[in-house]
């Protein structure tokens, strides 16, 4: 599974000003609502419920908030780069500045897990993460996410 299956160019948020975990989730939920046609509050509630099970801050400044929504048509992603790292209760206790929101249909099954694994592989690569932090704009971030190997070779 490629990240191009999950992301559109309009799903990149290059300069999110959130200063708290909840505000970051609110901002991502609002963007996801625009992309999916679902309510921002419904998406936010799904994300907050998932966070109650344990933080989706996976370490090295990366969080992958995710959840399932009944009736969602397809797997949908939103990527955000925060202007300043925030406390996200991450596994390594490091603040988060790169976030990839993943929403999946209730019946996504293994596709949801494959997508989470692919996102984690891309974002946990230190070269890719560094390039994402330095990228100038949404187009550059999108290019890095959908083809990190090609972008690393450049």
Residues forming the active site: 66
Cβ partners under 8 Å of residue 47, min gap 6: 25, 28, 29, 65, 66, 67, 101
Q: Which residues pair with 142 in a beta bridge?
A: none
**DSSP label at 70?**
T
Residue 28 dihedral angles phi and psi, to the nearest 5°:
-65, -40
Cα–Cα distance for residue pair 110/14, rounded to 1 Å: 29
Cβ partners under 8 Å of residue 40, min gap 6: 26, 29, 30, 32, 33
């Amino acid at each position: 599974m490629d990240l191009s299956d999950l992301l559109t160019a309009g799903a990149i948020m290059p300069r999110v000003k959130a200063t708290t975990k909840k505000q970051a989730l609110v901002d991502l939920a609002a963007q996801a609502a625009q992309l999916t046609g679902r309510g921002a509050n419904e998406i936010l509630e799904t994300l907050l419920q998932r966070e109650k099970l344990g933080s989706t801050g996976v370490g090295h400044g990366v969080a992958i908030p995710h959840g399932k929504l009944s009736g969602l048509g397809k797997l949908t992603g939103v990527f955000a780069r925060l202007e300043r790292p925030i406390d996200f209760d991450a596994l390594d206790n490091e603040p988060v500045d790169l976030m990839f929101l993943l929403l999946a249909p209730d019946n996504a099954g293994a596709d949801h897990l494959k997508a989470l694994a692919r996102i984690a592989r891309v974002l946990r690569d230190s070269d890719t993460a560094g390039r994402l932090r330095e990228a100038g704009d949404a187009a550059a971030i999108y290019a890095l996410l959908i083809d990190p190997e090609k972008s690393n070779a450049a």
